[in-house]
Amino acid sequence: MAVNLIHLPRILERHGEALLADWIREQLQSRSRTGAIKEGELREQCAEFLRLFREATTKGGVDMTRPEYGPLRELLANVSASRGAQGFSPSETAKFVFSFKRPLFMRLREELMRDPVALADETWAATELLDELGLYTTEVYQKAREAVIVRQQEEMLELSTPVVKLWDGILALPMIGTLDSNRTQVVMETLLEKIVETGSEVAIIDITGVPTVDTLVAQHLMKTVAAARLMGAECIISGIRPAIAQTIVHLAIDLGTVVTKANLADAFKAALDKLGVAQLPGR
Amino acid sequence: MDRIPILRMGEFLLVTIQVDMHDQLALTLQDDLTAQITRTGARGVLIDISSLDVVDSFIGRMLGSIASMARLMNAETVVVGMQPSVAITLVELGLTLHGIRTALNVEKGMALLRAGAARRSRA
């Protein structure tokens, strides 16, 4: 695209204040989430955008990949991120840029009334540039969202695998949520490391919070149990709900020699027995 | 070092593997250990692998066969101190070492051997 912006920087220069006022009015009228963003903040963002936009178009032409557009892109990224955090939708975020079109084109028309060709060219170049900038905010918005999702996934992974010490030599691992290969790996590693750290001989894996047990989950469990056994610790699986017991039998899953108990209390008792801890009679 | 030392503690043998196991070393250990069991009339073998970071399927299988050989010669084998990463590797390799007894550390392994010896002498 060979069109260069000749008039635009000049218009921005001359009518900056008026454009800013028009633009802010435009946004205040059209926004659906009234009061979600403070007017002062909006004014600040708009003024900054105008200033950087003017600099960028003066020096960098209409190609927003050029380094002259760096500060402008940064501003848009910040605006997009802060709006995303405030709960704006992607289209509302993009409107920040798109709403600038109307006041800008009005000015262009007034200025270039005598020269239709220049008006058309200038309008076309400006609209393309603004579209790109608007899409850029959407892209940044999307990226910010993805980062949030990835972070939450990691947090969930960490949160969902606590290993607690029940007694001297007894660990418990209450598992919550669906078990996939990724999670089982983390669970296995944390449990085994904790076994070494505490020198525990018995580990209770409680699966009360695991919604379904299929062959894959059973295999993961067996692997964890086998690894713990290799290190010299015994595992007890507890929290086998009636539905899970039925599934295990229907699927003909062989849990082998693993000790299983219906609830954590029974498993704890079995673990104490195994360690030879004397218990008070008549519980 | 081309030989892993085998220490005698009463009626048990203690083997501490502190170097990277390569295949020849493993085979030498197998020879030495069986010879020592006969010579000393040991009733139990304790293999400490707590400083072993890497194992392959050969070493895994070798541990299994040492245990089987020792059992044939009336000695129990206990493997102690396996690192989590090693345990995970062995399980992923499908080597769950059935028939080998395990313990968390040398102390617990010794207790296990003593309990086993006491049980057998009673029987």
Please report, for the domain that includes residue A168, its CATH number.
Answer: 3.30.750.24
DSSP B13-60: EEEE--S---HHHHHHHHHHHHHHHHHHT-SEEEEE-TT-----HHHH
Residue A35 has pLDDT above 60, yes or no: no
- CB proximity list for B108: less than 8 A, separation 6 or greater: A199, A201, A232, B80
Interface touch A231/B108, C-beta < 8 Å:
no
Give B40-50 pLDDT, tens digit per residue: 989 999 999 98
Picking from B38, B117, B22, the residue whose alpha carbon sits closest to that of residue B76 is: B117
What dihedral angle (degrees, nearest 10) is formed by the CA atoms of A208, A212, A214, A217? -50
Q: Report if residue A178 sits inside a domain.
A: yes
Same domain, yes or no: A107 and A60: yes
Same domain, yes or no: A120 and A204: no
Residues 67-96 of B with CB under 8 A from A: 79-84, 86-88, 90-92, 96
Q: Report if residue A282 sits inside a domain.
A: no
Give A66-93 pLDDT, tens digit per residue: 788 888 888 888 888 888 777 788 888 8
Task: Please count the residue pairs, one from chain A and one from chain B, whose beta carbons lie less than 8 angstroms apart.
Answer: 57
**Interchain CB contact of A187 with B (< 8 Å):** no
> What CATH number is attached to the domain comprising A95?
1.10.490
The two tokens of residue A165 are: 């010490």
Same domain, yes or no: A174 and A261: yes
Picking from A87, A4, A108, A96, the residue whose alpha carbon sits closest to that of residue A45 is: A96
Residue A172 DSSP SS3: strand
Using CA atoms, how far residue A234 sits from A72, A171, A245, A259, B92, in Å, is: 61, 10, 21, 9, 18
The two tokens of residue A35 are: 């009061």
**Among the three residues A93, A124, A156, which one is the final residue of a domain in this structure?**
A156
Contacts with B77 from chain A: Cβ below 8 Å? none
**Among the three residues A156, A185, A204, which one is the final residue of a domain in this structure?**
A156
Same domain, yes or no: A146 and A190: no
Q: Report if residue A280 sits inside a domain.
A: no
Give B28-84 pLDDT, tens digit per residue: 999 999 999 999 989 999 999 988 888 888 888 888 888 899 989 889 999 999 999
Give chain A's domain count.
Answer: 2
Picking from A222, A170, A221, A227, the residue whose alpha carbon sits closest to that of residue B82 is: A227
The two tokens of residue A114 are: 């005598």
Q: What is the rounded average pLDDT of the residues A106-124? A: 85
Structural domain containing residue A44: 7-156
Residue A54 has pLDDT above 70, yes or no: yes
Q: Report if residue A48 sits inside a domain.
A: yes
> For position A1, what pLDDT does the model report?
41
Mean pLDDT is highest, among A24-33, B17-26, B40-49, for: B40-49
Q: Report if residue A283 sits inside a domain.
A: no
The complex's ipTM works out to: 0.79
